[in-house]
C-alpha cells in the first residue's frame, strides 16, 4: 500500500515538474499565445508608391497558405497590414497603432525608405523587432544605428557601388546625369553613387536632378539632364517616375547609356508603361530570379512560386519581380519564427533574425546567399547584371560584387 502511494505521489510530482518545465520553456512576447503570433506592417495601399502594395497582399497570401497548413510550430500567423499612403507621418501613426493598440510581436516587411526611416527611432527605442524592411537605405546595415531594424533588399551602398564600378569599367569617360527623388531614398542612392565613383565623381557627374513625389511629371528634370550634355543616366527614381523618365527620354530623342535601379525594373509597373521599345538596352542588377525570364521556366522552385500565386494570389501579376520578392520575404520571416521555437520573446526574435547565415532562398539568383550577423545587417553583397532586350530582362555574366568589377 505504502509503495503504491509512493509511486502515485512520485508520478504526480513528475507530472507537475514536467508541466512546469514545459511552461518555463515557453517565453512569449506581446501578440503571442499558444495558438497565434501577431505581426504588423504598413504598406502604401494608396499614394504615389501604391504600385508596390502588391508586397503586402502577397505576404498576406503566403501566411494564409501557411495557416491552412498548420502555421509555424502549431501557431497561426495573424498579419495586420495597414495603409501608410507612403507618408512618413501616417506611417508613424499606423506603426504606433500596431505596437500600442494591436500589440504585435514584431513589425515585418514594411515598404519604402521614407516611411521606415520615420518610424525607426520609435520602434528602436521600444525594442520592437522591425524586420525585413523593403528598403535599401544603408542605415539598415548598421546595428549600432538601428539595432532593432533589418532590411531584406540590396542596400543602396552595395547596389550603387555595383553600378559605379560597371560604369567605370564599360564607359570610363561617361558624362553622368542622376535622377533621384528628393527624399531619404533618393539621397541615399545619390550619396552612395558619388562615394563609389570616388575622386572621379566631380568630373563624371555633370547634372543631378531631383523631384518631389507630389510632382505630376518629371519632364523638366529630364530636359535639364539632356541639356547638361550627359550621355549616361543613373536613374534612381521610384516606379512611376522611372517609367516617365524612360518615356520622356524617348520623346526627346535622347539615348543615354541608361542604368536603372533594381527597385524600379518592374516589367508591369515600369517597363510596359514606359514602352518596351523605349526601354531597350537599359541596364540593371538582379539578386533574384526574374519570374518572366525563360531561363527559369523549368526551375522547380519557380514552378512552386507560380503554383502558389495561382492558388493564393490569383489577381496579382505573378510574372513581375515584386511579388516574387514578397514571397521570399514571407519565407524568411517564417524561418525566423520557426527558429525561435517556443521562445517567442522580442529579444529572441531579434537574435534569430540577426544570426542567419548563408541562406539560399528558392528565388534568389543562384550563388547569392543571405546572411545577417550581430555586427553587420547587410543581407547580401552580390548581384547579376541584366540588360532589357525590348521584351524581357536578360542576365549576363556571372555574379558581381560591390567590392569587385562586373564581367561583360
Indicate if 161 and 129 belong to the same structural domain: no
In a domain, 339, yes or no: yes
> pLDDT grade, residue 7 (50/70/90)?
low
| Whether the Cβ atoms of residue 373 and residue 346 lie closer than 8 Å to each other | no
**Which of 317, 306, 315, 313 has its CA nearest to residue 268?**
317
In a domain, 31, yes or no: no
> pLDDT grade, residue 22 (50/70/90)?
very low
> pLDDT grade, residue 373 (50/70/90)?
very high
In a domain, 15, yes or no: no
Query: How far is residue 397's CA from residue 399's CA, in Å, rounded to a whole number?
Result: 7
Per-residue pLDDT at 3 exceeds 60: no
- Domain of residue 47 covers 36-154+296-377
What is the phi/psi pair of residue 135, to 5°? -155, 145
> pLDDT grade, residue 25 (50/70/90)?
confident
Q: How many alpha carbons fall within 13 Å on the CB side of residue 191?
A: 12
Which three cell numbers mark 198? 570616388
CA distances from 80 to 38, 42, 114 (A): 8, 8, 20
What is the pLDDT, as a whole number, of residue 328?
A: 97
In a domain, 168, yes or no: yes
In a domain, 127, yes or no: yes
Contacts of 219 (CB under 8 A, 6+ apart): 244, 248
Indicate if 40 and 51 belong to the same structural domain: yes
- Reduced to 3 states (helix: H, G, I; strand: E, B; else coil), residue 40 is strand
What is the pLDDT, as a whole number, of residue 23?
A: 44
Chain centre distance of CA 364: 12
Indicate if 282 and 309 belong to the same structural domain: no
Q: How many alpha carbons fall within 13 Å on the CB side of residue 189?
A: 29
| Whether the Cβ atoms of residue 150 and residue 353 lie closer than 8 Å to each other | yes
Helix (H) or strand (E) run with residue 388 in it = strand 382-388
Query: How far is residue 257's CA from residue 174's CA, in Å, rounded to a whole number?
Result: 9
Indicate if 165 and 150 belong to the same structural domain: no
Chain centre distance of CA 369: 15
Using one digit for the tens of pLDDT, what is the confidence trace for 386-405? 999 999 898 888 888 887 54
Helix (H) or strand (E) run with residue 163 in it = helix 156-170
Burial class (CB in 10 A: 0-12, 13-18, 19+), 331: middle
In a domain, 30, yes or no: no
How high does pLDDT run on average in the chain? Answer: 92
Indicate if 135 and 277 belong to the same structural domain: no
Query: How far is residue 236's CA from residue 227's CA, in Å, rounded to a whole number?
Result: 19
Which three cell numbers mark 170? 564599360
What is the pLDDT, as a whole number, of residue 400?
A: 85
Indicate if 202 and 133 belong to the same structural domain: no
CATH number for position 167: 3.40.50.2300
Q: Provide the residue count of the chain.
A: 408
Indicate if 337 and 239 belong to the same structural domain: no
In a domain, 23, yes or no: no
In a domain, 17, yes or no: no
Per-residue pLDDT at 6 exceeds 60: no
Indicate if 45 and 149 belong to the same structural domain: yes
Which three cell numbers mark 327? 514571397
Side-by-side strand order, sheet with 106-108 = 76-83, 36-43, 106-108, 130-133, 149-151
Per-residue pLDDT at 125 exceeds 90: yes
| Whether the Cβ atoms of residue 47 and residue 89 lie closer than 8 Å to each other | no
Per-residue pLDDT at 14 exceeds 60: no
Indicate if 95 and 110 belong to the same structural domain: yes
Indicate if 255 and 389 belong to the same structural domain: yes
Contacts of 208 (CB under 8 A, 6+ apart): 177, 178, 180, 190
Per-residue pLDDT at 109 exceeds 70: yes
How big, in percent rounded to 5, are the helix, strand and coil portions of the chain?
Answer: 45, 20, 35
Query: How far is residue 160's CA from residue 69's CA, in Å, rounded to a whole number?
Result: 41
**Structural domains of the chain, count:** 2
Indicate if 388 and 319 belong to the same structural domain: no
For residue 382, what are the β-bridge partners? 401
44-53, 202-211, 216-225: least confidently modelled range? 44-53
Query: How far is residue 246's CA from residue 286's CA, in Å, rounded to a whole number?
Result: 19
| Whether the Cβ atoms of residue 374 and residue 354 lie closer than 8 Å to each other | yes
Indicate if 166 and 148 belong to the same structural domain: no
> pLDDT grade, residue 225 (50/70/90)?
very high
Annotate 25-47 with b (16+ C-beta within 10 A) or e (fewer).
Answer: eeeebbbbeeeebbbbbbbbbeb
Amino acid at each position: 500500500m505504502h509503495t503504491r502511494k509512493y509511486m502515485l505521489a512520485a508520478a504526480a510530482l513528475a507530472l507537475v515538474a514536467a508541466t512546469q518545465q514545459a511552461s518555463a520553456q515557453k517565453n512569449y512576447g506581446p501578440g503571442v499565445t499558444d495558438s497565434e503570433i501577431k505581426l504588423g506592417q504598413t504598406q502604401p495601399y494608396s499614394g504615389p508608391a501604391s504600385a508596390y502594395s502588391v508586397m503586402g497582399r502577397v505576404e498576406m497570401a503566403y501566411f494564409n497558405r501557411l495557416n491552412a497548413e498548420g502555421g509555424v510550430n502549431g501557431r497561426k500567423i495573424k498579419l495586420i497590414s495597414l495603409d501608410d499612403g507612403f507618408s512618413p507621418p501616417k506611417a508613424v501613426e499606423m506603426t504606433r497603432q500596431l505596437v500600442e493598440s494591436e500589440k504585435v510581436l514584431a513589425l515585418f516587411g514594411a515598404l519604402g525608405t521614407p516611411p521606415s526611416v520615420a518610424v525607426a527611432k520609435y520602434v528602436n527605442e521600444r525594442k520592437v523587432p522591425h524586420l525585413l524592411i523593403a528598403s535599401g537605405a544603408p542605415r539598415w546595415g548598421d546595428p549600432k544605428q538601428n539595432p532593432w531594424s533589418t532590411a531584406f533588399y540590396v542596400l543602396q551602398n552595395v547596389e550603387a557601388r555595383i553600378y559605379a564600378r560597371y560604369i567605370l569599367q564599360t564607359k570610363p569617360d561617361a558624362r553622368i546625369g542622376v535622377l533621384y527623388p528628393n527624399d531619404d531614398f533618393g539621397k541615399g542612392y545619390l550619396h552612395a553613387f558619388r562615394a563609389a565613383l570616388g575622386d572621379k565623381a566631380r568630373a563624371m557627374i555633370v547634372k543631378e536632378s531631383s523631384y518631389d513625389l507630389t510632382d505630376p511629371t518629371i519632364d523638366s528634370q529630364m530636359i535639364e539632364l539632356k541639356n547638361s550634355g550627359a550621355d549616361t543616366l543613373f536613374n534612381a527614381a521610384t516606379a512611376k517616375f522611372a517609367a516617365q523618365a524612360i518615356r520622356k527620354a524617348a520623346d526627346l530623342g535622347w539615348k543615354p547609356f541608361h542604368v536603372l535601379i533594381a527597385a524600379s525594373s518592374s516589367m508591369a509597373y515600369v517597363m510596359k508603361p514606359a514602352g518596351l521599345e523605349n526601354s531597350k538596352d537599359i541596364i540593371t542588377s538582379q539578386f533574384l530570379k526574374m519570374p518572366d525570364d525563360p531561363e527559369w521556366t523549368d526551375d522547380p522552385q519557380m514552378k512552386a512560386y507560380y503554383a502558389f500565386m495561382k492558388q493564393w494570389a490569383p489577381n496579382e501579376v505573378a510574372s513581375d519581380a515584386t511579388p516574387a520578392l514578397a514571397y521570399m520575404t514571407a519565407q524568411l520571416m517564417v524561418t525566423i519564427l520557426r527558429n525561435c521555437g517556443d521562445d517567442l520573446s522580442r529579444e529572441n526574435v531579434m537574435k534569430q533574425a540577426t544570426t542567419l547565415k548563408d541562406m539560399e532562398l528558392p528565388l534568389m539568383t543562384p550563388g547569392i546567399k543571405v546572411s545577417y550577423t550581430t555586427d553587420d545587417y547587410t543581407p547580401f553583397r552580390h548581384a547579376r547584371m541584366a540588360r532589357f532586350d525590348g521584351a524581357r530582362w536578360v542576365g549576363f555574366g556571372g555574379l558581381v560584387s560591390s567590392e569587385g568589377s562586373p564581367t561583360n
